[in-house]
Amino acid sequence: MHAKLKKINEIYSACKELTLHGKWISFSDIEPLLTALPKQIQRTVVGYSEKETPISTLTLGSGAQKILIWTQMHGNESTGTKAVFDLLNYLGKVNDKEVAALLSSCTLVFVPMLNPDGALMYTRENALGVDLNRDALALKAKESTILRAVLEELQPAYCFNLHDQRTIFGVTGSKNPASLSFLAPSEDEERTVTEGRKETMQAIVAMNTLLQRIIPGHIGRYTDEFYPTATGDVFQQLGYNTILIEAGHYPGDYDREKVREFNFHALLEGLKAIASKKTQPYLPYFDIPNNTEMFFDRIDRAEYSGLDSAYQYKDIIEDGVLVAKLEKVREGDLSNFIGHNENEVS
């Protein structure tokens, strides 16, 4: 194993937050961690959700370069939350020159769970049914106004917007699922490559370069279609460079435990790239293959009839437990699709 990759694996195994596991992560899971933070991490309650659950920022570092990172804007997208607590363990406990340099050049502010009500209900939306990622202009939700207030007070140079994407996405030109996908959000319908987007792309290029060594061929580029009410697009338009990370599927990893590790490495490498202030090329961003819808969770291949059947898992909560139920979603010629699991049927 290459020495750098060996070190990467050792770093992660030492800092993974073992109390967080699986896809259903709610406030009760992170609350003990919030009350036992290392002294160098400052917690501030910045507001309350629609159902009065506290929403906090976690701050560490003292540098002039300010960076805002938030997770679980969508309550049922928790991979970024797990990765953030892994990262906090690393930054708060590891004492080496690289971490010291990062924290002396940057001030990092995390919102580790923006939508705790949605997290508890395991829904995309908040308690009032508002999709926070489409509420950046209307600001109907308390959670949206809290994030905007944190943004305007901090005035960050960069933002990281952490999400999960469905298992349907693969990497164009391959047969690989898109385990992580990146996006430098557009600022207008023409998708103009502004100076701000170039800077965002440069950070993504650094992250992709590392990840191609860890999971080659499993990185996609999310569509940069302009959404005028989406958080990333609006923040980028306002002059805050925003990096979208979409955690996806890795073979056999339905709990997204491997993908949380890749997410951790992406975040750490992105922060290092920003802190270093080294000029990166931005054009390789466009060499990252597009996401494409090419997978189903299971495909039953019909040997004679030609009527293949496709199934997707639907996550639901039953008796206080998250359960994945397989549902048929399509039937017909599915020769252009791949199943994460495939069966031959007569």
And the tokens for 103? Answer: 């924290």
The residue length of the chain stands at 346
Instruction: For the chain, list the strands marked E by DSSP.
Output: 42-48, 54-60, 65-70, 106-111, 158-164, 169-171, 180-183, 219-221, 241-247, 291-293, 295-302, 308-318, 321-332, 338-345
DSSP per-residue letters across 205-262: HHHHHHHHHHSTT-EEE------TTSHHHHHHHTT-EEEEEEE---TT-TT-HHHHHH
223 with 306, same domain: the answer is: no
* pLDDT, tens digit (0-9, with 9 covering 90-100), for 189-203: 999 999 999 999 999
Q: Does residue 71 have a pLDDT over 80?
A: yes
Asked if 252 and 301 sit in the same domain, the reply is: no
* Residue 1 pLDDT greater than 60, yes or no: no
Residue 135 pLDDT? 98
pLDDT higher than threshold 70 for residue 245: yes
Helix (H, G, I), strand (E, B) or coil at 71: coil
Query: Rounded to the nearest 5 degrees, what angle is found at the Cα of 302, between the Cα atoms of 299 and 308?
Result: 45
Please report, for the domain that includes residue 165, its CATH number.
3.40.630.10
The tokens for 239 are 């002059």
As a whole number of Å, the CA-based R_g of the chain is 20
Looking at the chain, the whole-number percentage of residues with pLDDT higher than 90 is: 91
Residues 148 and 101 in one domain: yes
Q: Residue 99, Cβ neighbours under 10 Å: how many? A: 17
Q: How far apart are CA 180 and CA 113, in angstroms?
A: 20
For 193-206, give one letter per residue: b (16+ CB within 10 A) or e.
bbebbbbbbbbbbb
Strand partners, 247: 164, 180
Q: How many domains does the chain have?
A: 2
Higher pLDDT, 254 or 94: 254
Residue in 90, 107, 213, 230 with CA at minimum distance from that of residue 163? 230
Same domain for 284 and 318? no
Same domain, 222 and 87: yes
Helix, strand, or coil (residue 118): helix
pLDDT tens track for 13-41: 889 999 999 999 999 999 999 999 999 99
Q: Are residues 311 and 254 in the same domain?
A: no
* Average pLDDT score, the chain: 96
What domain range is 199 assigned to?
A: 3-293
pLDDT score of 11 more than 90: no
Residues 63 and 113: beta-carbon distance below 8 Å: no
The number of helix segments (H) and strand segments (E) in the chain equals 9, 14
Q: Could you tell me what percent of the chain has a pLDDT over 70? A: 99
The dihedral formed by the CA atoms of 206, 73, 46 and 19, expressed in degrees to the nearest 10: -80
Specify the pLDDT at position 115: 98
Which residues, 6+ apart, have CB-to-CB distance to 174 below 8 Å?
A: 217, 289
Residue 188 has pLDDT above 70, yes or no: yes
pLDDT tens, residue by residue, 299-338: 999 988 779 999 999 999 999 999 999 999 999 999 999 9
pLDDT-derived band at 5 (thresholds 50, 70, 90) equals: confident
Give the model's pLDDT for residue 268: 96
Query: Is there a single domain that holds both residue 103 and residue 197?
Result: yes
Assess whether 300 and 205 both reside in one domain: no
267 in the same domain as 313 = no
pLDDT value of residue 2: 64
What's the confidence (pLDDT) of residue 27? 98
Query: What predicted TM-score, i.e. pTM, was given to this entire model?
Result: 0.96
Shared domain for 320 and 277, answered yes or no, is: no
Residues 94 and 206 in one domain: yes
Q: Are 215 and 179 in contact (CB under 8 A)?
A: yes
